A and B are shown apart, each in its own frame.
Chain A
């Protein structure tokens, strides 16, 4: 009798265990089934091509015939290619100047809009609009028309004592022109800053005011630290984004990167090498160099964030 009960118990236990395992297996199966679009896409369109371009980076390949292995030659050529170095100069200046200016504008306007006054929603939408259209070909054409010889901006800059002449044809002024275009799109980070500012408890400001802190002290000692996770998020996204500017530079220079290479952005040069000259191996080496640099910058930002980003309990 007892053995019978024990046996039944054991069988029960075993079948429950089997059931649990079966359920776990069917759960895993369901997970992979639902994830399959992304899994297939990741293997076929991301991971596979990444490995393929890593291989191509060590070859010479013009789309016809087979790639020929050339070892490190592509990478060695990168360091001596004056156009490549120019592309880094242009892109680097753009990232280093454009991103901080854009974020500063975004934060300043967000501070201005962070009130309980009426019209906040309207202002927020109005300032956001350029972010939606700024990267389009249409706006690049408008920008060009606004900055050429005899244009509005030419007149305004003459009024402030600048040499007459359009910005589009002047190699020293094309980069400022494109930086202005990115700063103009401050709306998206501004909206994110506004959401972050709303999270800062007002008691902190009240307490600080009581202790006699002025607006500057309150900004430096409360707003900046409380907002630092959001600043970090915006900085990371905008920086990575800035490395990849393409359409506006392409339209403004008609795909040439001119005048005098002043708009030869990294992705534009990559496009020229890969898809105009069909030097696929060289372009793949360029692409991987970009991944490594963007990866290093990302790592650096994360590393530095430990020193200046404050995650307090309820912030974020």
Chain B
């Protein structure tokens, strides 16, 4: 038996290979067609919101089309006019102060706490770590009522203190956990070498850990910003004067006030309120998705 009888001739093998490639091409086409169709369905509500904000109100409800007949900035204009005499930009500024404040608070408090939990050995460390994980699973409603009573007695309702204090005290265990996981993966030899050179914990934390923590800080900052930006419950409890409202609360008031027919302005305001989040997503999607994949963070 010669090889020629077993192996297909050159021409035939070429034909088979071409056939295989064609079949794979068709498969890829079907695959991408299917997945893209799914992407369109999933992103439809977001795109519809975006397009609707440029449509006249009577063209929104029941209009499936994503193509506006003649775009107009009228809705955006109406939304930017603000609510009840308070400028739209006041709401933006309030949301911004709280979001930036949360980021700063969370970065400082959670990195310090995470350093203790991952790099210093002291009695009770494991107990504290377990308690911290426990707070992740705890419905926060059980602490909200006494917190409100105390803030109310201290006259801190209608200030930003109730919304920011917790961020500076590492109450959001997710971020502590994220940073602990990150620090545990940094090589221990670094601190040991620094220790031999006589560096204390403060030196090790500031000159070794902080520079290496950048990726974790970026992920934490993005999530801290977006969560604070979208938060509804806490601002609803503590901010009761329109000039202190954040965007979600203002948006809710707006929907409440306007007669249901002005959907255009509602959509415009909804889009404006989400704009920073959408921008963050476009710029930092890598960090966000990787953050979820590795830390199991909630979006």
Contact = CB atoms under 8 A, between A and B. Distances in A.
B292 A34 contact: no
A208 interface: no
B169 A41 contact: yes
B293 A146 contact: no
B128 interface: yes
Given A27-B120, A291-B138, A151 B165 contact: no
Interface residues of A, number: 94
Interface in A143-164: 143, 145-146, 148, 150-152, 154-155
B45 A139 contact: yes
Interface in A180-218: 184-185, 187-188, 191-192, 194-195
A35 B49 CA distance: 44
Given A42-B131, A138-B271, A254-B256, A31 B122 contact: yes
A58 interface: no
A307 interface: no
Given A49-B147, A138-B273, A270-B141, A130 B46 contact: yes
A30 interface: yes
B132 interface: yes
B230 A136 contact: yes
B288 interface: yes
Interface stretch (A93-101, A220-228, A237-245): A237-245
A117 B169 contact: no
Contact of A244 (B141, B146, B251): B141
Interface residues of B, number: 92
B161 interface: no
A298 B232 CA distance: 26
A143 B266 CA distance: 12
B184 interface: no
Contacts, number: 270
Main secondary structure of the interface of B (DSSP, over half): helix
Contacts of A107: none
A126 B141 contact: no
Given A31-B121, A275-B148, A246 B176 contact: no
Interface stretch (B4-12, B69-77, B80-88, B109-117): B109-117
A109 B38 contact: yes
A178 interface: no
Contact of B139 (A128, A136, A154, A290): A290
A243 B171 contact: no
A244 B142 CA distance: 12
A191 B43 CA distance: 16
A46 B171 contact: yes
A8 interface: no
B292 A188 contact: yes
A245 to B, nearest CB: 11
Contact of B28 (A117, A135, A254): A117
Interface in A19-68: 27-28, 30-42, 44-46, 48-50, 52-53, 56, 63
Contact of B255 (A36, A112, A187, A251): A251
Given A46-B143, A288-B142, A142 B232 contact: no
A192 B293 contact: yes
A129 B46 contact: yes
Contacts of A48: 146
Given A112-B35, A133-B274, A141-B266, A50 B299 contact: no
Nearest to B40: A126
Interface in B19-71: 28, 31-32, 34-35, 38-39, 42-43, 45-46, 48-49, 52, 60-64
Nearest to A146: B45
Interface string B139-182: 11111111111101000000000000110111100001000000
Contacts of A309: none
A30 B120 contact: yes
Interface stretch (A9-17, A70-78, A79-87, A279-287): A279-287
A294 interface: yes
A69 interface: no
B112 A117 contact: no
B125 interface: yes
B46 to A, nearest CB: 7
Given A191-B289, A287-B142, 9 more contacts: A34-B113, A38-B110, A38-B169, A53-B145, A119-B32, A127-B39, A129-B43, A137-B232, A246-B233
Interface of B: 28, 31-32, 34-35, 38-39, 42-43, 45-46, 48-49, 52, 60-64, 108-110, 112-113, 115-117, 120-123, 125, 128, 131-132, 135, 137-150, 152, 165-166, 168-171, 176, 200-201, 205, 226, 230, 232-233, 236-237, 248, 251-252, 255-256, 263, 266-267, 270-271, 273-274, 277-278, 281, 285, 288-289, 292-294, 296-299
